[in-house]
Chains A and B, each alone.
Chain A
Amino acid sequence: MRLAGKRAFVTGGRQGIGRGIVEVFLTEGAEVITCGRGPAPSDLDAGWMSLDVSDPTAVAACAQGLGPLDIVVNNAGVQVEKTVVESSDDDWDLIMGVNAKGVFNVCRALIPQMRAGGSIINIGSISGKVADPSMALYNASKAFVHGLTRSIAVDHGPAVRCNAICPGWIETGMLDAGFDLAQDPEKAKRDALARHAVKRFGKPGDIAAMALWLASDESSFATGQLFTVDGGMTAASPLNPGLF
């Protein structure tokens, strides 16, 4: 039980990567509270708060009820598949509100009540380092997360550590939405698989495994870093491997 005695707050735990992190943390003995927009899912054993992380007042109120924490995971995120020219003001407010301001809101509210030795884990993205096409605001919002991660590590060490995980392509609803952009989604999926050194897409559990290590005391010297978990995709040139 690598997280026995620790209290964790995970944003966006209803599904996908967040759900995977909540389940692993529970298995490893942590007390876990998660949140999302809307009511609690019926099949979740963790504590639940109905919360939109983009709302600073709601986040502050939520912090009052959370009590002391050892682990905070900023996982809640949204994506809109558009270029800069296609994006509306509402798209900006949604993406930057949740992905960027949401991480700021949660960190600002919760850092003061984190216990010494605490660990903040932000979900960044490989898209914050290299661009996915037609994901302009999403890519930019994740680069914000990477920058904020370093700032928090620098400003709030040694009391708190802060790292980001940069997932590659993980099998979630968001990945399917990305493939729906392709002219031939099945062909695009085969091609994408060929680019992965491990020849498969990631699963939420792959990211949860990294989150578990960063949440545990085994990572007590790790802070301010971006940890890419992408099956080797961004280690390779973006040239189509089928060409050579």
Chain B
Amino acid sequence: MMLNGKIALVTGARGGIGRAIVARFLKEGATVYAADLTPEGSLDQHDDDGSQFVKLDVTQEADAIAAMDHVRAEHGQLDILVNAAGIEIEKTVEETTLEEWNQSFAVNSTGTFLTSKYAIPLMREAAKSGNSASLINFGSYDGFIADPGLAAYCATKGAVHALTRAMACDHGPEGIRVNAICPGYIDTPMLQSFFNGDGSGAGGGNIETLQRAVRDVHPMRTYGTPTDIANLVNWLASDEARYASGQLWVLDGGLSAQVQQMKL
């Protein structure tokens, strides 16, 4: 039990990756607040898993304050915050409306800022135990290199990367570690939307052919699962990672390690 006795809050907790993180945290002995817009999140249904659902729209300051007040009232501290809420608009700059651009930043960047802003005082309390608190953001390998037709998404993730380093710098002395996980292709509703959506340009192509082709571009010949991400989130959340801070952790099956595949 790597997280025994720790208090954790996960945003986007009912999405593909969020659910895997919540499940792992519970298994490791943490008390988990699962924050999302609805209990179902981006999936069709939700089975009670032992976490406590908190309604949280990460773009709303009042929601962030209320969520942290709730945690404060019940535990007085927060050991782990995971900012996993995110959206993806599959468009180029030219196609993206100002509203879509603002919404992308509101959820992915401002949401990370707001939730962190109101969590930090509670995390500072947790750090007084002598074990550091761990704040984990969701960047993306798209914050380093671009996928076509994801302009606003790429930009919001670049912002999260820089914010991660800034928060690590500012709050490290208070015992709060701040890291970002940068997933590559992970099998989630967001990825399937990308395969099916306008951004894919699949043009009626066979989705399975597309999926296999994407897998084959990876050195590991597969894309990741939410469990793969939860494995790293768990480590970063645990005291084993007590010296890890300010870093961007790319987890992509080796995709971005290569220039490209020559042997087609």
Contacts and interface: CB of A to CB of B under 8 A. Distances in A.
Contacts of B256: 130, 237-238
Interface stretch (A28-36, A63-71, A182-190): A182-190
Given A235-B145, A244-B201, A183 B263 contact: yes
Contacts of A183: 263-264
Contact of A244 (B145, B148, B255, B258): B148
Given A182-B262, A188-B262, A235-B145, A240 B257 contact: no
A119 interface: no
B198 to A, nearest CB: 11
A179 interface: yes
Interface in A67-99: none
Contacts of A243: 210, 213-214, 217
A176 interface: no
Given A179-B262, A187-B264, A244-B199, A238 B213 contact: no
A238 B259 contact: yes
Contacts of B201: 244
B188 interface: no
A183 B222 CA distance: 22
Contact of B258 (A181, A238, A241): A238
A133 B262 contact: yes
Sort chain B's interface into a size bin: 20 to 34
B105 interface: no
Interface in B121-163: 141-142, 145-149
Given A184-B264, A239-B214, A126 B146 contact: no
A10 interface: no
Given A183-B264, A244-B201, A236 B146 contact: yes
Nearest to A125: B259
B145 A127 contact: no
Interface string A184-204: 100110011001000000000
A191 B210 CA distance: 16
The winner among B213, B262, B264 for most chain A CB atoms within 10 A is B262
B264 A182 contact: yes
A209 interface: no
B217 A239 contact: yes
Contacts of B261: 133, 238, 240
Contacts of A239: 147, 214, 217, 255
A183 B147 CA distance: 26
Nearest to A183: B263
Interface in B218-264: 255-264
B103 interface: no
A131 B264 contact: no
Contacts of B258: 130-133, 238
B200 interface: yes
A233 interface: yes
Contacts of A133: 258, 261-263
Contact of A236 (B148, B214, B257): B148
B215 to A, nearest CB: 11
Interface string A162-184: 00000000000000001101111
B263 A235 contact: no
A130 B262 contact: no
Contacts of B262: 132-134, 178-179, 181-182, 188, 192
Contacts of B146: 235-237
Contacts of B147: 236-237, 239, 244
Interface string B78-91: 00000000000000
Given A130-B258, A244-B201, A237 B263 contact: no
A220 interface: no
A244 B149 contact: yes
A229 to B, nearest CB: 14
A62 B259 CA distance: 37
A239 B184 CA distance: 11
A234 interface: yes
Nearest to A131: B258
A77 B72 CA distance: 62
Nearest to A184: B264
Given A239-B147, A240-B217, A233 B259 contact: yes
Interface in A219-241: 233-241
Nearest to A241: B148
A126 B264 contact: no
Interface of B: 141-142, 145-149, 199-202, 210, 213-214, 217, 255-264
